Structure 1
Amino acid sequence: MKQIYFIACALVVFSCKEKEYKAAGNAKELAEAVHTDKEHKGEEPTTPEGTEFYEPVPPKVQPGAKINEAPSDAIVLFNGESLDQWVSAKDGSSAKWHLNKDGSMTVNDKSGDIQTKQEFGSVQLHVEWKSPADIQGEKQSRANSGVFLQGLYEVQILDNNNNDTYVNGQVGAIYKQHVPLAMASVPSGEWNTYDIIYHAPEFNAEGEKIKSGTLTLLHNGVLVQDHVEIKGTTPYIGWPKNPPHGKGPIKLQDHGDNSRVSYRNIWVREL
């Protein structure tokens, strides 16, 4: 009986040692395989200088003097002085939203969406928005608006404070596609910020999508969309579609139900 016990113990020890040897072998193989990275060819450098390079030099950008102020290379789309950078999305006529004395603009109910005159591809976009302090409506009819990238892909704006709705249509959602990681809104009537990093989809000569767009969103400094894949357009009804396209406008939505959403300090950096 003792003999059987010692044999069993020996087998256990051997098995453990075998795993240790295999792990050590795998680690050694992994370390030796590092040089096979396709980007790095030739003899491995033996000094720090061998992995340093000095060109191309990144362009110098002066950040805004204040928080959320546009950096020096940004295109300012709205600074509170005029709506000259915007037109009606319906017919290209002058934007008819309300220009307010405090440097903001407010949705003019049922006047239609507005969009930028200039078209963009991949961008860093900064938008500040607020819902009205005097609450009206509920669910999707409370301070509903949206930011559309290339006129097609919506980042939802909504007053979700004590106002539940379908989560892939709540504030910070990529509409009907991606639920936000958190609900980071400030109290109703206060200013929210959206900072968006957007990479546009790519299409081949035949009009087939060969690379999906991606979007990262920080809502009031909180990461709520983490480099998510844009599956296609963001329709109210139906599946996402992927029509081929190039650059497109940035569009702000008039939801048509007295949303009264206001915007200010909108700027963009082309990527």
Structure 2
Amino acid sequence: MPRILFILSLLGSLVTAAEPAKAPEPKKEKPFTPGGVYREGDMQRPRPTVITPPSESTAPSDAVVLFDGKDLSKFKRVARKGDDPSEVPQWKIENGYAEITPKGGQIETLDKFGSCQIHLEWATPAEVKGNGQGRGNSGVMLHGWGEVQVLDSYENDTYPDGQAAAVYHKYPPLVNASRKPGEWQSYDIICECAKLDAKGAVVQPARLTVIHNGVIVQHAVTIDTKVQEFGFGLQDHLNPTRYRNIWVRPLHERDEGAVKAEGTK
């Protein structure tokens, strides 16, 4: 190799050796999850509350049991005009269920609830009498929200916003999931109260979801109400409809920080 090329090669090696090592690229931050408070996979994020789920004979561990087949002490009676004004429930209780009796009156919860899941099971009379609104008529009367209709809607035609699982005179159910007369049916009614700003204006409207016999029949329909706490009643519509296994559980917040951030959008 000519001397001049050797010298240039040597100088190039020295320059290369003298260059500082490149700093490692900064670790890329993971994206934020909805709400903008916690990043994906953040181990510092609060854990969901641990509960025991329900079984056929028990309510979830975070639920308030309103009727377990023994007594109606969590309810008060609302009598029809001219009937006995006593507030003590007069429905018949036997075999783990409560049955509406003649002049028994509506019963209403003593407690009030915020956003919640209401679970109950009901059965219309096995012996079919009447038609339309005259078959097993009752209802879950959500104070300030409206009524989720209870009715024998198995091969029984009536106006759509008045059949079983309708939000009465507002929303017909998406499908008719009714069982035969006399068979036990279930409702899970999810009430999400309206979100209000500091001045009481609605930021997000109240929403109602109904699951009838395991089938979604009302999906987050909006309800024009600002109530933040409410009770509910079971209607006496002069039909011997039965109820059992009634409980209510709160809708837990996902985590406080993320929920606050969502509300400020």
Q: What range is the shorter-chain TM-score in? A: 0.7 to 0.9
Write the mapping of 1:60-75 to structure 2, written as runs, cut at 5 A.
60-64=50-54, 66-67=55-56, 69-75=58-64
* Residue 262 (structure 2) pairs with residue 268 (structure 1): no
Matched-pair contact (CA < 8 Å) for 2:109–2:231:
yes
Deviates more, 1:50-59 or 1:191-200: 50-59
Q: Which amino acid aligns with 1:53?
A: D
Give the greater-gyration-radius structure (CA): 2
Q: CA RMSD in A?
A: 2.7
TM-score by length of 1: 0.71
Within 1, Cα distance between the matches of 2:172 and 2:87?
35
CA distance in 2 between counterparts of 1:268 and 1:159 reads 24
| Partner residue in 2 for 1:52 | 41
C-alpha deviation, 1:179, in angstroms = 1.1
Conserved? CA contact 1:121–1:150, under 8 Å? no
CA distance in 2, matches of 1:60, 1:200: 23
**Matched residues, percent identical?**
40
Mapped to 2, the partners of 1:205 and 1:97 lie a distance apart of 43
Contact 1:89-1:251 within 8 A present in 2 as well: no
Question: Are 1:183 and 2:156 matched, yes or no?
Answer: no
Which deviations, in whole Å up to 9, do the C-alpha atoms of 1:44-80 show, x marking residues without a partner?
xxxxxx621233111110112x337311111100000
SS in structure 2 at match of 1:260 = coil
Structure 1's 151 and 266: CA in aligned 2 closer, same or farther, altered over 3 A? farther
Q: Distance in 1 between matches of 2:41 and 2:215?
A: 34
Q: Which residue of 2 aligns with 1:125?
A: 118
Give the Cα–Cα distance (whole angstroms) in 1 for the partners of residues 52 and 34 of structure 2: 36
CA distance in 1 between counterparts of 2:64 and 2:111 reads: 10
Give 1:164 shift.
Answer: 0.3
Structure 1: which 5+ residue stretches go unaligned? 1-34, 42-49, 233-241
Q: What is the aligned partner in structure 2 of residue 81 from structure 1? A: 70
Q: 1:78 to 1:118 in 2, by over 3 A?
A: same
Q: 1:37 to 1:117 in 2, by over 3 A?
A: closer
Q: Distance in 2 between matches of 1:268 and 1:115?
A: 14
Aligned equivalents of 1:170 and 1:38: distance in 2?
38
How many residues get paired? Answer: 215
2:77 partner amino acid:
S
Structure 2: unaligned runs, 5 residues or longer: 1-30, 80-84, 252-265
Following superposition of structure 1 onto structure 2, how do residues 238-249 of structure 1 map, counting pairs within 5 Å? 242=225, 245-249=227-231
| Contact 2:33-2:40 within 8 A present in 1 as well | no
1:94 is aligned, of 88, 110, 116, to 88
TM-score, with length taken from structure 2? 0.73
Q: What's the offset of the Cα at 1:185? A: 1.1
1:226 corresponding residue in structure 2: 219
